Structure 1
């Protein structure tokens, strides 16, 4: 193998740096820091594995969700393209901490989750994918528990009923 002097020096420098980092014990700490988030729940994938609204609530640490009229959910009643359904959610509930979008007929019921720090207006405007005609839920977490509102969204294929 013909290695140029420059390539040899680059490989040697990289190897030396890796050896120094691993000898000081920083490598396992750096790897752990990159994979853990102290603010996130221990298993952040669990809510996305839930299949119903109740399972999503339980996976987020609640027991049950109560229907509320203080949550405004705007979505089209008929979506011609289920891949890009515009959704607007606004919570009038005090101390809103999180807003989630749930569609039980999707492969994963939880479509999105948004956290709100204190003093932030709990308002979300986004687009979600809805697999088929189903209820779309806006799930809100406050310091008093979980609340939701729902709206039926009919997904058509190319705008031709369905």
Structure 2
């Protein structure tokens, strides 16, 4: 944690003075854009896998290739697994390329799940790539990618 005075709107302000004034929101708005930038798609996947290699296959991501409205896009992710105590899917994560947040969802599974499949609706800010990654009980990671063209975008913000 930062212990010395902070520069807020060009003035040096002590932490206690800032908290006493109730102006904690100034900290976030005064940070440079690179300090609050969203992680890239690859960085988000690396964080999920803790740097482990991700292999292609064993996962199927169903995403419509053409999406009329990005506010509610139905997706299904299924992984090849017998879902036994010795061989099952632990987690399935979904990531996106261009939304304000790279992480979409993480689903926790186990042998009692019966099937290694999840379905949900997500928002897509624009045409982009979506990636699903499954963590298996042996510690391996498998993935699938799909692209979608979005005609009416959701999550409208400055995405540059």
Aligned to 1:100: 93
Q: 1:73 to 1:150 in 2, by over 3 A?
A: same
Structure 1: which 5+ runs fail to align? Answer: 1-48
Task: Name the structure 2 match of 1:157.
Answer: 152
Structure 1 moving runs of 4+ over 6 Å: none
Q: Which has the larger radius of gyration?
A: 1
Following superposition, the deviation at residue 61 of structure 1 comes to 4.8
* Greater percentage in strand: 2
Paired residues of 1:141 and 1:147 also in contact (CA < 8 A):
yes
Match of 2:64 among 40, 58, 76: 76
Q: CA deviation at 1:50?
A: 5.6
**What SS does the aligned partner of 1:156 have?**
strand
Q: Which runs of 5+ in 2 are unaligned?
A: 1-36, 82-86, 154-160
- With over 3 angstroms needed to count, the CA separation of the structure-2 counterparts of 1:65 and 1:130, relative to structure 1, is farther
Q: Please, which of 105, 110, 116 is the counterpart of residue 117 of structure 1?
A: 110
| Contact map agreement 2:61 2:78 (CA 8 A) in 1 | yes
2:133 maps to which residue? 139
Q: What TM-score does the superposition give when structure 2 sets the normalisation length?
A: 0.61
Give the C-alpha shift of residue 141 in structure 1: 1.1
TM-score norm. by structure 1 comes to 0.61
1:70 deviates by 1.4
Query: Secondary structure of 1:51's match?
Result: coil
